[in-house]
Homo-oligomer: A and B are copies of this chain.
Amino acid sequence: MTDFNMATMASNAKKASRAAAQLNSSEKNTLLNAIADAVEANSAAIILENNKDIDAGREKGLSEAMLQRLVLDNKGIKDIASAIREIVALTDPIGDVDKLSLRPNGIQVGKMRIPLGVIAMIYEARPNVTAEAAALCIKSGNAVILRGGSEAIHSNLAIAKCLHDVLSAHDVDANIVSVIPDTSRGVIEELLQQNETIDLVIPRGGEGLIRYVSENSRIPVIQHYKGVCHLYIDKYADLDKAVNILVNGKTQKPSACNAFETVLVHGDISGEFLPLAAKALKDAAQVKVHACKNSIGYFTNAELATDEDYHAEYLAQEIAVKVVKSYDEAVNHINEYTSDHTEVIITQDISRGHKFVRQINSSVVMINASSRFSDGNQLGLGSEIGISTSKLHAYGPMGLEALTTEKFVVFGDGQVRV
């Protein structure tokens, strides 16, 4: 690793990004199909390298859950290939001009969608991210620099080799995809200084990683710290829908950032709703409850909620419950504790529903639907490259379009400014 140079890699990526930007959709899809094929054809070699990571991980004493995320078996390889083929099927946004307007002096003005340039991804254990993030960046005409977890370094380099072989075989600059071979922490620091060549950094992982990247980066960063998603059961809620959505949003996959962490219940219906909720949460997954003093009596497995509970992202079968006196109290609570991820209202009252959607400016706001839909695929974006809970550039789940920007195009016929 001694001859690895971060600045050189970034500057080569910048050069390659110009070539990537000029590929048309057919060329990009040909590459992606070939990459999917190559990943499958080389599954034995990739799995061999993956085994080295697993062995090293076991020696280092990684938890069983961590090791599970690291494993690439034949099914894992097939999943990667089909994820890439799904990206082939997505519409290529590059080159789109939404409309051209004619200015009074006869110049035509429009905005054309273009790639961002060079994207850096910093992520943790899962080696499938290496292939899928690269595929999304290729499809959107960007170059990408990938820095996966050191635990997955052999797997990541094996996948990178596949990608490079395909790019070279198609006479495309292989620097469109770079995997950082250096696993030291210092290299991230160096990466974050390459603001002359890298356009965007997307960190994916725990809050610690994201804070570290945000605080040390001179490159713009997509931020997503945590998901404290709220469910508000309005006075005019259909209680069957409310119970179903509560159970689905909390228990289906509690480790996801789009799971509910707090449920707010309007006082006028809490007496009717809470017994149903208590039974359903217990039946579904023995959910542990942190309840306010007005709701604790309804639960058998509850502790009194503290202020901290309303800030908590449990990522487990645990939920905070609070009875609110009014719609306004619910909105104020959400505004105070929001992580700007996803908030849901359950109501049959159309005015309330639309008011909630106007008043809450989290990245995803829903009426009568499960927070578990707060995901790029479920929302119709196709594959997701990440999620942003800061409002700049992209807000909410990010698909292909979030890897692009728009430039102005002007078509004149000799006009000058007077």
Contact = CB atoms under 8 A, between A and B. Distances in A.
17 contacts: A18-B335, A22-B359, A95-B358, A103-B378, A200-B392, A220-B392, A220-B393, A241-B414, A245-B414, A252-B416, A364-B409, A366-B409, A367-B412, A368-B411, A369-B411, A372-B417, A392-B405
Contacts of A374: 408, 410
Contacts of A200: 391-392
Nearest to A415: B369
Interface in A96-144: 101, 103, 107, 109, 112, 114-117
Contacts of A364: 407-410
- Give this chain's copy count: 2
A369 B392 CA distance: 31
Interface of A: 18, 21-22, 95, 101, 103, 107, 109, 112, 114-117, 199-200, 214-215, 218, 220, 238, 240-241, 244-245, 247-249, 252, 335, 353, 357-359, 361-370, 372-374, 378-380, 390-393, 395-397, 405-417
A233 B21 CA distance: 24
B379 A410 contact: yes
A238 B414 CA distance: 9
Contacts of A414: 238, 240-241, 244-245, 368-369
Contacts of A358: 22, 95
A358 B114 CA distance: 9
A213 B117 CA distance: 23
Nearest to A355: B22
Contacts of A214: 218
Given A248-B417, A359-B22, A370-B416, A220 B365 contact: no
Contacts of A411: 353, 366-369
Contact of A408 (B238, B247, B363, B367): B363
Contacts of A357: 112, 409
Given A245-B416, A372-B417, A408 B393 contact: no
A374 B398 CA distance: 30
Given A244-B414, A366-B411, A379-B410, 10 more contacts: A107-B373, A109-B379, A115-B361, A199-B392, A200-B391, A220-B390, A238-B414, A368-B414, A369-B416, A372-B417
A378 to B, nearest CB: 7
- In order of increasing CB-CB distance, the 3 nearest A-B pairs are A369-B412, A248-B416, A241-B414
Contacts of A379: 103, 109, 408, 410
B218 A215 contact: yes
B368 A407 contact: no
A114 B215 CA distance: 26
A223 to B, nearest CB: 9
Contacts of A408: 363-365, 374, 379, 396-397
